Structure formats: structure tokens, C-alpha cells
Amino acid sequence: MNKYINEQIRALLEEPDMIAALANVSACIMESYDCLNWSGFYLVKNGELVLGPFQGRTACTHIQFDKGVCGKCYSDAETQKIDDVLAFPGHIACDSASRSELCVPVIVHGKVSAEIDLDSPQKNRFTDDEKTEMEQAASDIAEAWIRFSWTAN
């Protein structure tokens, strides 16, 4: 457990520009957690998930709401902690090296507005503590979203 990551993320969310803030949050996560090949955001735009600020390897740009781990996170409005993405029905292989994934919805005014998405080349990579930390980060992002009147469109 990284007991300081949420403090760091809250400090980065003092930035009123959404892209700048989320870019630094994705970098903070990438630097704080070992064995990640991707840390970033998908934003809800024009009826789909669209790539937002991230750190790591090239990623899928558009994801439909009913596709992959990110689509399930959106559809269920619930965190998805997938220990083996190859066993996940309909997994989208944006990076063929990824083996586990943690996807957390950012819920603003009762609707998923964005997602935190983390990928690792290691199976069973994500812990319950990290899930809790990223759920807190999503809550803090939602608060910043409201405070600064962010919009993904």
C-alpha cells in the first residue's frame, strides 16, 4: 500500500485545467506503482470512451461502452479488477503485453464521466489496497470535476 499516493493525487487536483491535472495524476500513478505498462484515463465523449491523458504504451483511442474491461466498468459503473485479462470475455488487447487490469469509474452527478485505467504485464498484479486507493482517487477526481466545472466534450 502506498499511503501517500492519495495525498499526492489530491495536491495535483488543485490544478483547474482538466488535461493538465489528469496528465500529472497518470504520471503520479505510473511512478508510484511497480510493474505497470499503462496508467491513464478514458473520458466519456460522444457516446463512447475516448483516450485521455496517460503514461505508457500506445493505447486504444476509442472504446465502445459494451467492449472490454473499460466498457464493463462503464456499463456497471463499478470497479473492475481483472487478474488475467486473457480469461476476460471480450477483452480488448490494446497492448498485447497486458495481463492484468484495474479500471475504476469516475462518477460525477451519478454518471460515469471518466475512468482510471491501469494495465500491467503481470497476472494478478493489482491488490485490494490499490483498488481502494484508486477508488479514492476517482472520488477526488469527481470532486475536482465538479469544483472546476470540467467537461469532456
**Is residue 82 domain-resident?**
yes
Number of domains in the chain: 1
What pLDDT is recorded for position 54?
97
Which residues in the chain show pLDDT less than 70?
1-2, 91, 93, 95
> Which amino acid is residue 140, in one-letter code?
D
C-alpha–C-alpha distance, residues 91 and 16, integer Å: 34
**Is residue 41 domain-resident?**
yes
**Is residue 107 domain-resident?**
yes
Going by C-alpha positions, the residue among 6, 25, 12 that lies closest to residue 130 is 6
Do residues 13 and 140 lie in contact, with contact meaning Cβ atoms separated by under 8 Å?
yes
Q: Over the stretch 15-58, which tens digit does the pLDDT of each residue have?
A: 999 999 999 999 999 999 999 999 999 999 999 999 999 999 88
**Is residue 152 domain-resident?**
no
**Is residue 35 domain-resident?**
yes
68 conformational bin, left if phi > 0, alpha if psi -120 to 50, beta if neither: left
**Is residue 153 domain-resident?**
no
Residue given cell 470512451 in the structure block: 49
Boundaries of domain holding 87: 5-147
**Is residue 131 domain-resident?**
yes
Residue 41 belongs to a domain with what CATH number? 3.30.450.40
What pLDDT is recorded for position 95?
66
What pLDDT is recorded for position 90?
72
Q: Starting at the edge strand that comes first in sequence, how are the strands of the sheet with 38-45 ordered? A: 62-63, 48-56, 38-45, 111-120, 100-108, 80-82
What pLDDT is recorded for position 142?
98
Residue given cell 469516475 in the structure block: 106
**Is residue 53 domain-resident?**
yes
